Every structure is written in structure tokens, then in C-alpha cells.
Amino acid sequence: MDFEFSPEEQAFAREVEAFLDEHATPDVADVLRENMAQIVDTPERRAFMKKLADRGWLGMTWPKEYGGQEREGVYEYILNEALARRGAPQIGKGVGIIGKTLIRHGSDKLKEEFLPKIMNAEVEFAVGYSEPNAGSDAANMQLRAERVDGGFLLNGQKTWTTSAHFADWYWVGARTDTTKKHDGISLFLIPMDHEGLEVRGLPTIGDELTNEVFFNDVFVPEDYLVGELGAGFRYISEALDLERFTMFTYSPTEQRLEEVIEYVKEAECDGEPLRADPHLRQKVAQLATHAEVARVLGLRFVHAARKVDAKPPTVEASQYKLFATTLSQRVGNAMVDVAGPGGQLRVRTEGAPLRGRGDMSYRYSVIDTIGGGASEIQKNIIARRGLGLPRNF
Ligand SMILES: Cc1cc2nc3c(=O)[nH]c(=O)nc-3n(C[C@H](O)[C@H](O)[C@H](O)COP(=O)(O)OP(=O)(O)OC[C@H]3O[C@@H](n4cnc5c(N)ncnc54)[C@H](O)[C@@H]3O)c2cc1C
């Protein structure tokens, strides 16, 4: 298998690095904040996304008739890995989930209203699928959308809606038919400041905020139903397949590991260099090997995904996510270990080993093993679709 990027792709990667050298200032790109992908929650981060837009890097893969360049998804992969490595906000929800779904299934009105804004970085979205009883089993969502004159009335609750506290629009799955499971779900677009929507912050173990959102008689006009009634779950699944290039980045783990290795090379404990400790040498050598496995699993999946007309590389994506996210946790553990008692100090504490990243990474890295499909769900996919084993009972 040839995992090399083409000369054009390599040139693009260099162009992105040069752009980041110029624009990735500490107020927008900060590895100490860890990688909460797609968070564009300050005016500075919004301005940074606008610069990406001005370069034509939002919607690169979209059809030309919607202002895109019809580039391969691998360009978005290269861009997002570079952004994530520097702790900068990444492209994702707007360009990927919402943009690509509207292009395929949205009405002319919704396309005209949203696609130019997405391309110009003028709108931020929150995505509302999960509910208290609908996470891994997303098709169990119960938020009710009842048909009324001119539209729908929404009542119920979402949870874990990241970005709801600063987003402009809400992309929401709701139940329009209680007699069907998957086919009873429809997708809607709702302004985040709509009357009857209440957003309550949910702090996470990784220091970033996500949210619960409550719906009290939220009226959504007919025009803001996305595509066909009852087709929402199909669109949600399809978007996952379209979005795999940008869903999960490996580069932050690699960057953290590099920092650990540098620390082991240079730091001392009780007057002895850490690099002389055989246990630590074993540990970092093992992690460096696993990091190479994760990198190649990622490339293998990119390679499978870029084949024209190939079916979505679902098993490859699950293997990559499962391995890379658990590796990220192991790197977090190693940071705490090598830092010794100082590994308990908070990030940015003066004098803390590894800039206090041990504690932060240890806590944060659990999140990626849950969001976007928990590790157990990835294992189920590998067992069922990859190995032909029966569905679990
Ligand atoms: C920080 C964060 C941000 C998030 N942001 C968003 C967002 O913006 N929008 C959104 O819609 N959602 C979001 N989510 C929700 C996320 O998608 C869900 O948390 C995830 O799908 C798991 O669902 P759950 O939390 O309900 O856990 P559950 O589905 O209840 O799972 C609990 C445990 O049981 C295991 N399990 C479940 N089913 C099976 C099975 N069939 N076989 C074996 N094990 C199983 C799971 O792996 C897990 O360990 C976010 C979550 C987090 C933590």
C-alpha cells in the first residue's frame, strides 16, 4: 500500500504550515488547552476561521456550484491534522456535517441561507443528537417534534450538546413519529437564541464545557425541516461517513508524546537524569512504537477512504479511533508518571513539570474515547462488520 501524499498534497501541507507560522498566535492556537476539536468560542478564534475561509480552505471538498473546489477529502485531513497539532480550532461541523448534508438533501432556501455563511466562517453550529437515554443508541432519541399549523412544536431535552453556549444555530434530531424507531426521526435547524430553548452548562472532566438543552414549546417553521420528514437518522449516519476525514485527529497525541520524550531526555529526578531510568526508557520506546501504529492506522483509513466510489471504510475508521484514543489515554498516563508528584499540578502552574500537561491530558484524554462513538461501540463495529461476528445481545 502506498501511503505517500502526492506532490500537490505535500505542497498544500507546506502552505498550511506557513499559514500557521504566521497566524497561529497563542490566543487562537494553544496546545495547553488540549484538543476540543471545532471549538470556535472567542472573537479571536472566529477571526482565525475567517482567515482560513479567505484562503478557500472551508468547503474545499464541496461541489463547485456551491463555491467549493471539489478537492479530495484528504486535503481536509491534512488541514485538520495541522490545525490540531497546534491546538487551533478545526473545520468540522459546519463544513462537514451541516454543509455536506444540506448540499445533498437541503431545500434551495436552506442551501442559499447557510452554505455561503459556512464557507465564509460566519456561522457556528451546535449538533444535538444525544439525550439522557440516547447516546450510543442515538436512534432512541425522544425529543418530540409535533406537527402544528405551519411547522413543528418541539418539547423535551438534549444533553452533551457541545458549543450550545456560543453557537448561532442548532442542528437537531427530533422524533416526528413515535410508531417507528429510525424512520421516526427528522432533522431541524433552529436559531440558538430561540424562545423556549434553555441551555445549561455541563462542565466536563477535561475542563471544557458542554451543555444540556431544554425545549419548551419551541416552534420550528416547516422551511427549517432538513430534507424529508422521517429521513433524519439516515442523514445523520450518512454525514458520519462523509465526515470521517475530519472526525478525529491523531496529531495532538503525537505532539504530547514528543514533549514527554524531550522531558525524559532532559529532566532529572533526585540528581539523576531521567533518561538513565530503564523503566522510563522502556515506557517511551513502547509508546513511540504504538504511536507509529496509530499513525499508520490513520493513513490506512485515509487511503481506503480516498478511493473513488469505495464504500465508507467503517471498520478501518473504528480500528483507528479505538487504537488512537486509547493510546492518547496511555500518553496521558505516562505524562503523569514521568512528572512524578509534580504531575498532579494543574496546567500552567509555574514550575510544573511538562507545563502541567500531565494532569490536563490525563483528564482530557478520556473524552475522545467516548465522543463520536465510545470504544465499546467501535469494538462492536469491528466484531460485527470486520470479523462477521453476530450482533451483541
Ligand atoms: C465531551 C463530550 C462532548 C459531546 N458532544 C456531543 C455533541 O456535541 N452532540 C451530541 O449529540 N453528542 C455529544 N456527545 C455525546 C456522545 O456522543 C455520547 O456521550 C456517546 O455517544 C455515548 O453515549 P452516552 O454518554 O449516552 O453513553 P451510553 O451510550 O449510555 O454508554 C455507556 C457505556 O456503555 C457502553 N455501551 C453502550 N452501548 C453498548 C453496547 N451496545 N455494547 C457494549 N457497550 C455499550 C458505552 O461504550 C459506554 O461505556 C458528547 C459527549 C462528550 C463526553
User: Rounded to the nearest 5°, which phi and psi values hold at 160?
Assistant: 60, 30
How many structural domains does the chain have? Answer: 3
The answer to whether residues 164 and 216 belong to one domain is yes
The answer to whether residues 18 and 68 belong to one domain is yes
Q: What is the pLDDT of residues 19-70, one digit of tens each?
A: 999 999 999 999 988 766 568 989 999 999 999 999 999 999 999 999 999 9
The answer to whether residues 263 and 377 belong to one domain is yes
The answer to whether residues 210 and 290 belong to one domain is no
105 lies in some domain? no
Average pLDDT over residues 367-373: 89
CATH number, domain with residue 223: 2.40.110.10
CATH number, domain with residue 276: 1.20.140.10
Range of the domain at 318: 248-386
For ligand 1, say whether the CB of 382 is within 6 Å of any of its atoms. Answer: no
Helices 357-368 and 314-339: crossing angle, nearest 10°?
Answer: 160
The answer to whether residues 256 and 326 belong to one domain is yes
Please state, in angstroms and rounded to a whole number, the distance separating the CA atoms of residues 126 and 162: 6
**Is residue 206 predicted with pLDDT exceeding 90?**
no
Please state, in angstroms and rounded to a whole number, the distance separating the CA atoms of residues 121 and 28: 15
CATH number, domain with residue 45: 1.10.540.10
Q: What is the pLDDT of residues 161-181, one digit of tens each?
A: 999 999 999 999 999 999 999
For ligand 1, say whether the CB of 371 is within 6 Å of any of its atoms. Answer: yes
131 lies in some domain? yes
Q: What is the pLDDT of residues 64-95, one digit of tens each?
A: 999 999 998 899 999 999 999 999 999 989 99
Which of 41, 125, 130, 163 should be mutated for ligand 1, with most atoms under 8 A from CB?
130
Q: What is the pLDDT of residues 245-288, one digit of tens each?
A: 677 889 999 999 999 999 999 999 889 999 999 999 999 999 99
112 lies in some domain? no
Q: Which of 78, 58, 79, 80 is nearest to 69 (CA)?
A: 58
Please state, in angstroms and rounded to a whole number, the distance separating the CA atoms of residues 319 and 297: 7
Cα(326) to centroid(ligand 1), Å: 16
0.85 exceeded by pTM? yes
The answer to whether residues 139 and 42 belong to one domain is no
Q: Which of 157, 268, 169 is nearest to 216 (CA)?
A: 157
